[in-house]
Structure 1
């Protein structure tokens, strides 16, 4: 059996890869993602990989054709890709989540795949005012004030249309509760908490009390149990809808006990919503108040169908899944993918951390010049900001050329490195100097006018110079990692992480070398396309096909 997983690098996707690789009846697994994982790491090394973006700016025809090519010969396609952030970009969210589902369904039909399994959610269900368990036939109109619930309901309507138009296709909707595992700790921190919440303190103590909206109840499932549900659905080609959640329903007091003290402070839900709305408007938090509306309004799900028909039983309680998540948040745990990447910088061992807690200036010993180190780190953050801006533009401009997927992967790596520098400045207690990053942002844009000798149009030379600048910047970055590796133990950081980053930077140079070899071959031809943007991408793509370059 051949199974394709769209969105295979996220929370549920990573767990599903583990389940499918261990299943003897599954002989081939294909992961589809817009950002490749570390393909030497478990469980990603045992899958084939295809780079595709369900929210691509390409016209539907070529984008769907690329997905259909990836789906050829599959017995089932499991569609898990879903964008939660950025909350404020509704058009992007809808294009990814709703239009992306439609695009996947069209590709499944074009490839002749007999079974489409789609990750829906408890959030698709309509509002209730009680705790009576609802089965899968409860209406799926969502919660109107929650963008997540609205898009999940719209996704359900897409699947309704597909089922009506193509009765020969088996369509399955999986509606889980909240999905937790240790590997997803930092993804959840980034999506819902952000850098202002000191989750690392979970390793040192617990909050004195837990404030929660009155009446909150949570259905959750461990990611490995959800993956087992998907596995059973795929093997049995079971159609229809399935609710998936652990046996225990967690209320406020249960959550307070999980955080180790049992002291709960219940707050009126309208007050919680109002406070979150203010914080969201001030950009102090990442989730909008619609998440509170959904949490307080979704039904309790009845999970008897998947238990009775497929024999599914959860191996973890919801409480155990939450405990695992909290412990992993404190450790900064994650996986080697862009969505699940672990927290950086990593602290060194407990002994070093204990020494750091005794210092007047945490993280920086007296024999290191605090101001010089702060300036050095701030300058590297400035360089990371400028480099990320330039590489983002390169990735978008050359979206259709053969090396675009690798450029997109580099963008995510640079974004994570920039966040690491920000975290490190905070951890070491030195100033960020944001005016330098702002100047770098402006300077990068002004520099675009000088890269090609033309102020109003693109040039074939632009890609060559941009690639050379990025290659030089990465070489400089290696020097920064080497300096930090040299002083890591004095700063209370893990030297191994900087060795990993040095190796990663060298692989980034290899990618940029291939890009440079490709663009320099065509840039100075007399018949080269002199326009920018889409026309230039088309010309480069044609050149690659003619030359046989495989970037």
Structure 2
């Protein structure tokens, strides 16, 4: 069987690829995502990869056409693509998550794929205050105060219409509980908590007690590998309809507190928790908004009997086990080799990507071991570049976040990942050469980059069409400067006991980054100053960055 996975680089997609590769009935896999992973590492290797934007900044005709071409000859499609952030851009989320599902379904019909498996969620269900386990017949009208739940319910209606219009296609819907796994830990932190939170403190149990909303009926969860096996079982059995996917146990307040090792929890009025979450989200301290709490407290407890009976599926991990591995993963900052799954600590080996490797900084060197090099002066030079790299990494990451709904997002996001890793490499280089960093200068650069965000570029309430032009020009200058550093280090690598080849490769990467930024600049400058063009095009016919 040939299977296509849409949204193949996220938490579930990564796990599904792993199970597909281990399943003898699966002969080939097509991976589809907006941003490409490191195709040299498992589980992303041995897939046919296609970069397709299903709805964020693509026209319906372009997206359906590209998907139809990619899905032709496929026996089953697993549709997992779902945008969690930016949490407050409702138009973008609705377009990608609901309209995107409609486009995928249309392409499945055009490509004559006989089976479509779609990721729904427990969040699609209507509210329930009881402790009863509900089967798949429970209404799917969602929780009205949760945008995620509202969109999952809307997705269900899209699938209802598609089933009526295309009876020749078998449609399977999986409705999993919360999906936990170690490799998803850093992704979950960024999407729901915030990158600033010192979750490494979880390793030492510093949290004295666990605050929980009063009336919590329990949390259902499933390990990512278990939900991945459910998706593959759905492909193999080709059963129509919906299936609840969850572990057998339910995590109550006591079980959640026990995870922290002390077993202490304090119940707080839900209104207080909701207000605190809302204030934290408004202040950009917490990524999730109040709707996630509303959904968590309101959705029913699920019964997974149908999946066990008809798919032959059984969870191999309990909910407490899944939560435990997630907690450990959050404490250590674990991740995988795709941009969404990147680990918190960029030095981790699983973070390596083919276009931006974790380069070696060699053995520790001091001024005594390199008599022909003014090591102090070189250290000042590298430290100055690290200061600039700090601002550059912040700028490119913000650009990727600000331009999520444009055709240049995928290229910017992949560049941001490369530049983050190079920034980490410069830090390691200084440390391993025994050279001093300039933390005050780095902090000033970090602060200056953020203050620069206050510049309106001629627009106050909306994004200025000029912003992408100016930001790209600044990044081009930064990359040219970085290229000079790599060339300088290549000239001195031998004396420092470093590999010259890695700096040659970094120089080539810088040239590639320049070519990408040039293409983005060409796209932006051709639109920014024209009244008949739109830089922030939500309905584009093509990306300015051509796939290599």
Both structures adopt the same fold (TM-score exceeding 0.5):
yes
The aligned runs of 1:139-288 (5 Å cut-off) are 139-216=139-216, 217-288=218-289
Determine whether 1:383 maps to 2:395.
no
Alpha-carbon spacing, 1:205–1:116, altered in 2? closer, same or farther (3 Å): same
Runs of 5+ in structure 2 lacking a partner? 350-375, 428-436, 459-464
Aligned residue number for residue 6 of structure 1: 6
Q: CA deviation at 1:161?
A: 0.8
**Alignment match, 2:312:** 311
Distance of 2:477 and 2:319 partners within structure 1: 50
Alpha-carbon distance change, 178 to 499 in structure 1, aligned in 2, over 3 angstroms = farther
Partner of 1:452: none
1-side partners of 2:474 and 2:338: how far apart?
26
2:461 is matched with which residue? none
**Secondary structure in structure 2 of the residue aligned to 1:41:** coil
Partner of residue 330, structure 1: 331
**1:66 corresponds to:** 66
RCO comparison, higher one (Cα < 8 Å, 6+): 2
Segment drifting more, 197-206 vs 57-66: 197-206
Note if contact 1:179-1:223 (Cα within 8 Å) is conserved in structure 2.
yes
What's the CA shift for 1:512? 3.9
SS in structure 1 at match of 2:155 = helix
Hey, what's the Cα distance between the residues in 1 that align with 2:521 and 2:267? Answer: 64
Question: Helix, strand or coil: the match of 1:3?
Answer: strand
CA contact (8 A) 2:214 2:267 kept: yes
Task: State yes or no: 1:54 paired with 2:62.
Answer: no
Give the aligned length.
496
Whether the aligned pair in 1 keeps the contact of 2:180 and 2:223 (CA below 8 Å) is yes
CA distance in structure 1 between the partners assigned to 2:17 and 2:319 by the alignment: 21
Q: 1:425 matched to which residue of 2? A: none
Mapped pair 1:15 → 2:27: no
1:472 paired residue number: 480
CA–CA distance in structure 1, aligned partners of residues 508 and 484 of structure 2:
14
Q: CA–CA distance in 1 between the matches of 2:347 and 2:144?
A: 41
Q: Deviations over 1:321-371 (max 9, x none)?
A: 1111111111111001111101135499xxxxxxxxxxxxxxxxxx99x99
Unaligned runs of 5+ in 1: 349-366, 423-427, 447-454, 487-495, 522-527
Partner of 1:95: 95
Deviations, residues 163-206 of structure 1 (Å, cap 9, x unaligned): 11111111111000000110000001111111332111122334
TM-score scaled by structure 1? 0.77
Contact 2:347 2:424 in 1 (8 A): no
Deviates more, 1:499-508 or 1:304-313: 499-508
Query: How much does 1:385 deviate?
Result: 3.8
Q: Distance in 2 between matches of 1:119 and 1:59?
A: 23
Q: What whole-Å deviation, never above 9, does each CA across 1:414-433 have from its counterpart, x for those lacking one?
A: 467789999xxxxx994523
**More moved, 47-56 vs 512-521:** 512-521
Q: Does 1:76 align with 2:81?
A: no
1:131 is aligned to 131
1:66-97 CA-partner distances (Å, limit 9, x unpaired): 11111111111100011111111111111111
The residue aligned with 1:451 is: none
Could you tell me how far apart the structure 1 residues matched to 2:275 and 2:527 are? 54
Q: Deviation of residue 36 (structure 1)? A: 0.5
Aligned-partner Cα distance in 1 for 2:485–2:142: 47
The alignment status of 1:409 with 2:421, answered yes or no, reads: no
Q: Deviations over 1:361-382 (max 9, x none)?
A: xxxxxx99x9999876443222
Deviations 1:420-463 (A, max 9, x none): 999xxxxx9945234421465579979xxxxxxxx99x99xx99
Contact 1:82 1:97 (8 Å CA) reproduced: yes
1:410 offset after TM fit, Å? 1.9
CA offsets 1:294-314 (integer angstroms, 9 cap, x no match): 111010001000101121111
Cα distance in structure 2, aligned partners of 1:469 and 1:518: 15
Who is 1:290 aligned against?
Answer: 291
Q: For the Cα contact (< 8 Å) 2:528–2:535, is it kept in 1?
A: yes
Instruction: Using the TM superposition, give the Cα deviation of residue 508 of structure 1 relative to its aligned residue in structure 2, in angstroms.
Output: 3.1
CA contact (8 A) 1:76 1:114 kept: yes
Q: Provide the rounded CA distance (Å) in 1 between the counterparts of 2:301 and 2:521.
A: 60
- Residues 481, 147 of structure 1: alpha-carbon distance in 2 compared, 3 angstrom cutoff: farther
User: 2: CA distance between counterparts of 1:125 and 1:511?
Assistant: 47
Q: Secondary structure at the match of 1:81?
A: coil
* Residues 433-442 or 53-62, more deviating: 433-442
- Who is 2:322 aligned against? 321
Closer, same or farther: CA 398–35 of 1 in aligned 2, 3 Å: closer
Deviation at 1:388, TM superposition (A): 5.4
- The separation in 1 between residues aligned to 2:197 and 2:398, in whole angstroms, is 27
SS at match of 1:313: coil
Residues 90, 421 of structure 1: CA spacing in aligned structure 2 closer, same or farther, 3 A cutoff?
farther
| Cα distance in 2, alignment partners of residues 318 and 418 from structure 1 | 37
**Helix, strand or coil at the partner of 1:250:** coil
Structure 1: distance between partners of 2:204 and 2:324: 15
Name the SS of the counterpart of 2:87 in structure 1: coil
The structure-2 alpha-carbon separation of the partners of 1:90 and 1:417, relative to structure 1 and needing over 3 Å to count, comes to farther
User: Structure 1 residue 387: deviation in Å?
Assistant: 5.0
Specify the SS of the correspondent of 1:44.
coil
Check 1:129–1:479 CA distance in 2 against 1; reply closer, same or farther (3 A cut): farther
